[in-house]
Structure 1
């Protein structure tokens, strides 16, 4: 009985003196990654909001900042283009205009935005045709989550003898309205 108690005490000591501090260090790395991702996303979206466009250089700089965390991310961009539709009693008769407009948004997403930024036509990154432009009143947003299993998630699964399905330890959503058209 004494032998089993000694083994249990040694395992508990290893767990408390080694594994828990290692897990806390990994969690702090996730917190630092979260702060870096938040700063990068805020800087990127705020730059887009004040300029009214995205260039390949801006997008690559954003991805470089994300890569500095050591994680891989699923980056989803969303551009909502503001549109106005005049209200008519009879759409076929322009004389029935009601004097009001209905506002709606057309959505453009990552694939459509990246197709403008990185076309297969060999143009230089500075070419104005590779600039994704927006208008004042539009909305731009980014949604990020890591797709790899961070060290903290792996250690937690090891300690708890679990298999966490959700990998995302770093999540970020940030969006805003376009304030300027500087193109």
Structure 2
């Protein structure tokens, strides 16, 4: 009799897992996939605009942030600008090229300075030149519902972002 009730309890636990927990987990995974697609599209749209125009405006950056934050998650956005510089070779023949790296903080200082310039002021535009390279990385800061659910089921703590996008390329337009 006791053995029979153990099997019934085990069958009930498996039934609960199959009917409720598994579909819920796959729903959360699908939500993460859709969020990943939205963030990818918005990041590529932003970087394509920067590559085409040759500058970043405060309004364009704010619209980009608003679009990715509309997914309901918090994100860490990192922009890196590599400026190609040419220096004459000491021997007199040819040039030496170097890439100067500008980090996220130096870019944001130009876009959002500590003064009262309006957003449309050209002094607040971050300008790039043709041939420069721009890289934008976006990663979620918190845990998604699927990550929390998976961590609960397997008794682990996932410490990497589930939503991660890199986009960029060479600037081909300059205004």
The normalised TM-score by structure 2 is: 0.96
The whole-number CA distance in structure 2 between the counterparts of 1:50 and 1:64 is 21
Choose the corresponding residue for 1:6, options 5, 8, 11: 8
Alignment of 1:1-183 (within 5 A): 1-89=3-91, 97-98=92-93, 100-166=94-160, 168-182=161-175
Count of residue pairs the alignment pairs up: 173
What's the CA shift for 1:162?
A: 2.0
Runs of 4+ more than 4 Å apart:
none
Residue 89 of structure 2 aligns to a residue in which SS? Answer: strand
SS for the counterpart of 1:79 is strand
RMSD: 0.9
Q: Alpha-carbon deviation of 1:85?
A: 1.0
Matched residue, 1:94? none
Report how far residue 165 of structure 1 moved: 2.5
Structure 1, unmatched stretches of 5+, are 90-96
TM-score scaled by length of structure 1: 0.92
1:77 match: secondary structure: strand
Give deviations 1:61-99, integer Å, cap 9, x for gaps.
10011111111111110000110011013xxxxxxx22x
Unaligned runs of 5+ in 2: none
